[in-house]
Structure 1
Amino acid sequence: MCVKTHRPAEGSEEAVYQVRLPLSKRTIDLVAGLIRKRRKALGSRWRKLAPGAQAVVVLAVLRHDQRLADMAGGNAVAASTVRRWVKEAIELLAVRAPRLDRALRKIARSGGAVVLLDGTLVRTRRRTGVDNRKNFSGKHKAHGLLFLALTDEKGNLI
């Protein structure tokens, strides 16, 4: 008779998964600073992780498409918490992005005559349910999100 248990394999409960996150300290500090300001504005007294650690988790999810459950388990938080952190960070970063009309005016004032708009598909995992086909690119035959970039004639990101 075989008895099934739900215990991890011997010695596996202490396993650690590491990846190299190629980000500058400046990027992590920027995101952590935005999170810190947001917490102060909300009057948040306590969070599970410090703003810097939260920024690293968010950037790992965004940069390497790490599974939320994996990042949550390694940081002793729920996957829904990581999802909320990612959404919050995206909103904070989006507020900093210049509006298109303002960016174009700035280029015109500086004497620029050429603006380049280019895009690429950032591949993502397939979604389930009704969101499955929403992010599917027929051209590339893959799931993903369209990333657009506006540059000047020298290729500098605007």
Structure 2
Amino acid sequence: MSAARRSSALRRGHVCGALLLGLLAGCAPAPPEPPSRVALTFPVDLSDPAALTRTADDLFVGRVTARRGQSDRGIGIESQYDVRVEHTLKGSLTGVIVVNQQGGLDADGRAVDLPEGDELLHVGERYRFATRYSTRWGFHTVIPVHGDIRL
């Protein structure tokens, strides 16, 4: 085979390879979408430990033992967890309680309605919790972002 023919065959091979790669790239799964985030504002600076302590009904260290599920009360998805209280810092909680957190998972398993800077709780992990109690719903809602610090 002459040098000219070899060069021509090589170019066709490169073009075919490039076309094949282009087709395969179009079949690749799309990168996962980032979680949908909710921007929140508060009347106090909850990054200040004193303000967080004043705002919380209860401060405690606990371990997430189970994810109960999620619900939508009209303000976005919220997730409920069983948490075993290990040490109380403010309030008088003991035993296993239900902790509610803003945010949850959509049908594809992606986090949705999460406050900016927060992440969903993880079963088996320990956290320092700052919560507000809802007598209407019977659970302790985590103060977003600063109320669930993983230990």
Task: Assess same fold via TM > 0.5.
Answer: no
Pairwise TM-score range, normalised by the shorter structure: under 0.3
TM-score by length of 2: 0.21
Greater strand proportion: 2
TM-score by length of 1: 0.20
Q: Which has the higher helix share?
A: 1
